[in-house]
Structure 1
Amino acid sequence: MPLPVGKRRANGLPAVVESLKEFRHNFGVFSESSLSDMNWDNVVAAGSSVVNTLLPVPPEYKKSKRALREYYRT
């Protein structure tokens, strides 16, 4: 099942976010910070909440938390 040409990333573009800091920020926005006070010892996060926040965000949605939240909710 090849990906349509319009949905493919251009060669050389990153496939995941560039830093752990960016992932944590994205995950916090995606989860509405509901997990920020949780003790993460012996806990594994999995599924779309992790995959979605690992993917690079288009530049127009990086302007603010509100824009990033809108990106994740649509």
Structure 2
Amino acid sequence: MKLADWFETPNSDGSKKSKAAFAEKIGVTPQMISAYCSDRMWPGKERMEAIIRETGGNVTANDFLDLQGAAQ
């Protein structure tokens, strides 16, 4: 799942996910989250591990790559 799509999915209580709160949890600015969501930047290893952890594994490193059909 792309990070941008993860943010569009409501929390279990129906509330909207906060990019600012998420950014604070993984140690970056909200602007960095926007850059990650729009594929303008890729997170490094440490941030990627934090993204995986904070999204409960719903967003992984593979989700930042667009390799559909590349392995054919």
Does TM, scored on the shorter chain, surpass 0.5? no
Report the TM-score range of the alignment, normalised by the length of the smaller protein: under 0.3
Greater helix fraction, Structure 1 or Structure 2: 2
Greater RCO, CA 8 A, separation 6+: 1
**Normalization by structure 2: what TM-score?**
0.27
